[in-house]
Amino acid sequence: MDKLREITRLNLALEVVSECAGFVDADAVARVVGERMRWLFDFDVCLLALRVGGAVRWLSMRSGDEALAVTPDGHAASLRPLAERVMALGSPAASGQPMFALAYPLGNVAQPLGALCIEGSSAYSNRDLRFLHHVCSGLGAALVRIEQSDRLASVRALAADRDRAAFDEARAANDAKDTFLAMLGHELRNPLAPILAAVELVRRDPLGPTLARVEIVERQARHLDRLVSDLLDVSRVTSGKINLRRSAVDLRDVAAKAAEMARPRMSGKGQDLTMEMPELAVMVDGDEARLTQVACNLLNNASAYSPKGAHVDLLLRSDVDHALIEVRDEGIGIAPELLGRIFELFVQGGRSKEAAPGGLGLGLGVSRALVKLHSGTISASSGGEGLGSVFRVTLPLLPAGAPEIAPAASETHEPAQAGARRIRRRILLVDDNRDAADSTGELLRGVGHEVLVAYGPVEALVSAIDFAPEVAVLDIGLPVMDGYELADELRKRLGSGAPVMLALSGYGQERDRKRSAASGFAAHMVKPVSLSELLANIQDARAV
């Protein structure tokens, strides 16, 4: 019977999400909540908050009611503070331990458009919270669309000038892009953490793969991490606000690494890559990883827009003052009207049945910004559609006899103070990603720390009193209670014995770091964090 109930419950939830596509106003959201909630959850009181026209509209129902109604009395008063908290923070919340009340935001995380709360006489589970998440995601998406539609209609009604209306639409599109990139970056960072932790474990295992293979895996993962950083703040790339790790770089090494990164994709399409390299070094002053990113972007672009079995050439040449990287393909070519815009962000070329690259259209735009930071130029040419393309990057050579450039500090596999005496600490590590938590915990134990791993805030709070951690490394995006709230609870329960708090998060923008600092965290680390950075912060941990 329980299984049948869960199947029925799931079908009802799918119906709710499906209906969301047809919602045209907030009343439709309220109607579907009133009609379906009694079948989706066991509750005594259900409270729905909707932010309409700048004001919050409160509706509630008890288990025996037929529909939601404007709250006529105080029977939902206990849920109102929980709903207000959820709308202020943009994250789910629960009250009581065990959880007798759940609340979830609707719409944008930055500024929720409402909240849905339920309170029952029996405790809710994490499964109930996840189920509420799926239902509220559909309702929230509908509210966002309704709000955007209403806003756009209002703008069009008030704007007499067509140019002003176009400006507002472009701004809305830009906001949507920024939101998308932030969410995408967060989701891609999380799996990178266990990947890099596993690499460290394999490196320390003499029976594992060869060191060369380990270095290839690590290089690919760290390179992907840097690409994710670009996605999170494209404006930083285009405005030249990237901090280059400059050193004397041989472009032959850059070409070789880019080819290594691009070959698996090309092999999958049966494409052939030919490289033409000079015998002597081609030295430039630059960031090797970023220049490799540029060359790899060009090779991936050539592969994406070329049919199966096509041929791609990568050539490196130099003259007296400049180096030239050239990528030639036999792909679909570039239409004349597109040549002037090919390096703009989100601009993509045409598609064919054999060459349909998809993607976000960021590669060439990011490459242009990186080349410009290296005082170089990038250009494209094509005979037209179906006639292939040629991309050229020119970079200034290092003058002959120039003093050697010290390589930039790179991430090592031991902390900077590896030679000094390491302090052994008791560490509480909390992360709901079990792979990340287990692998990171094993790494920390491997260098001598005593580590207690918890997969959620409740488990962490229960275990912390007996364990008495000196340092707590907390994931921020935890279910039920986020890392900021967990840190507050740890301080309340442990008092003067509370550990130094270190934040570990997939969110790494400046506002995230400022919020961590304001919440009393001694450091804010972004996933995937290197072992050297993690150990350094643990060694330097001081209460703030």
Please check whether residues 17 and 56 belong to one and the same domain.
Answer: yes
Q: Residue 484: give its domain's CATH number.
A: 3.40.50.2300
Please check whether residues 35 and 153 belong to one and the same domain.
Answer: yes
Pick from 238, 259, 274: which residue ends a domain? 238
428: three-class secondary structure by DSSP: strand
Evaluate whether 118 touches 41 at the Cβ level (below 8 Å).
Answer: yes
Please check whether residues 227 and 297 belong to one and the same domain.
Answer: no
Q: Are strands 500-505 and 471-475 parallel, antiparallel or unpaired?
A: parallel
Which backbone phi and psi does 382 adopt, to 5 degrees? -160, 145
Question: Which residues, 6+ apart, have CB-to-CB distance to 318 below 8 Å?
Answer: 278, 282, 324, 397
Q: Residue 112: give its domain's CATH number.
A: 3.30.450.40
Please check whether residues 266 and 226 belong to one and the same domain.
Answer: no
Residue 293 included in any domain: yes
Please state at what angle helix 434-446 crosses helix 162-203, rounded to 10 degrees: 40
pLDDT at residue 187 in the model: 59
pLDDT at residue 88 in the model: 87
Residue 193 included in any domain: yes
**What is the span of the domain harbouring residue 354?**
247-396
Please check whether residues 312 and 359 belong to one and the same domain.
Answer: yes
Pick the closest to residue 197 from 179, 173, 172, 222 (CA basis): 222
Q: How far apart are CA 112 and CA 411, in angstroms?
A: 39
Please check whether residues 216 and 257 belong to one and the same domain.
Answer: no
**528 prior amide bond cis, ω within 30:** yes
Residue 280 included in any domain: yes
Long-range contacts of 345-353 (CB under 8 A, 24+ apart): 345/234, 345/238, 346/177, 349/305, 350/385, 352/307
Q: How far apart are CA 252 and CA 357, in angstroms?
A: 28
Helix (H) or strand (E) holding 433: none
456: three-class secondary structure by DSSP: coil
Q: Residue 382: give its domain's CATH number.
A: 3.30.565.10
pLDDT at residue 415 in the model: 41
The dihedral formed by the CA atoms of 540, 541, 543 and 544, expressed in degrees to the nearest 10:
70
Please check whether residues 475 and 497 belong to one and the same domain.
Answer: yes
Pick the closest to residue 325 from 252, 228, 406 (CA basis): 252
The tally of domains found in the chain comes to 4
pLDDT at residue 544 in the model: 47
Please check whether residues 283 and 337 belong to one and the same domain.
Answer: yes
523: three-class secondary structure by DSSP: strand
Residue 168 included in any domain: no
Exposed/middle/buried for residue 399 (C-beta within 10 Å: 0-12, 13-18, 19+): exposed
pLDDT at residue 310 in the model: 92
Distances (CA, A) of 520 to 239, 496, 534: 32, 14, 18
pLDDT, averaged per 10 consecutive residues of the chain (544 residues), comes to 62 71 75 80 87 81 81 73 88 83 83 87 85 83 77 62 67 62 62 71 67 64 65 57 83 94 86 93 92 92 90 93 94 84 66 47 80 93 89 91 51 41 85 88 91 93 92 91 93 92 85 90 88 89 62
Residue 254 included in any domain: yes
pLDDT at residue 416 in the model: 40
Please check whether residues 28 and 146 belong to one and the same domain.
Answer: yes
Residue 544 included in any domain: no
Please check whether residues 11 and 95 belong to one and the same domain.
Answer: yes
